[in-house]
Amino acid sequence: MTGDLFADSPPDWREPLAPGAVVLRGYALAAAPVLLATIAAVQRQAPARRMETPGGYTMSVATSSCGALGWVTDRSGYRYSAIDPDSGTPWPPLPATILDLGIAAAREAGYPGFAPDACLINQYEPGARMGLHQDRNERDFTAPIVSISLGLPATFLFGGPRRADPARRLPLAHGDVVVWGGPSRLFFHGIAPLRPGLHPATGALRYNITLRRAG
Q: What is the pLDDT of residues 131-183, one digit of tens each?
A: 999 999 999 899 999 999 999 999 999 999 999 999 999 999 999 999 999 99
Taking 90 as the threshold, does the pLDDT of residue 87 lie above it?
yes
Q: What is the pLDDT of residue 10?
A: 53
- Other Cβ atoms within 10 Å of 26 Cβ, number: 15
pLDDT of residue 180: 98
pLDDT in tens, 19-60: 999 999 999 999 999 999 999 999 999 999 999 999 999 999
Mean pLDDT over residues 108-124, rounded?
A: 97
| Percent of the chain's residues with pLDDT above 90 | 93
151 burial (CB, 10 Å; 0-12 / 13-18 / 19+) is buried
The tally of domains found in the chain comes to: 1
Task: Please give the model's pTM, rounded to 2 decimal places.
Answer: 0.93
pLDDT band at 1 (very low <50, low <70, confident <90, very high): very low
Overall residue count recorded for the chain in this entry: 215
Q: Please say whether the beta carbons of 134 and 35 come within 8 A.
A: no
**pLDDT over threshold 70, residue 11:** no
According to the model, what pLDDT value does residue 54 have?
93
Residue 197 has pLDDT above 90, yes or no: yes
CATH code of the domain containing 53: 2.60.120.590
Confidence of residue 13 (pLDDT cuts 50, 70, 90): confident
Give the distance from CA 69 to its chain's centroid.
14
What pLDDT score does 8 carry? Answer: 53
Residue 82 scores a pLDDT above 60: yes
Q: Whole-angstrom Cα distance, residue 207 to residue 95? A: 16
Q: How confident is the model at residue 3 (pLDDT cuts 50, 70, 90)?
A: very low
C-beta of residue 114 within 8 angstroms of C-beta of residue 213: yes
Task: Tell me: pLDDT of 83 over 90.
Answer: yes
Mean predicted confidence (pLDDT) in 85-106: 98
At position 51, the amino acid (one-letter code) is M
Q: 140 is in which domain, residue-wise?
A: 3-212
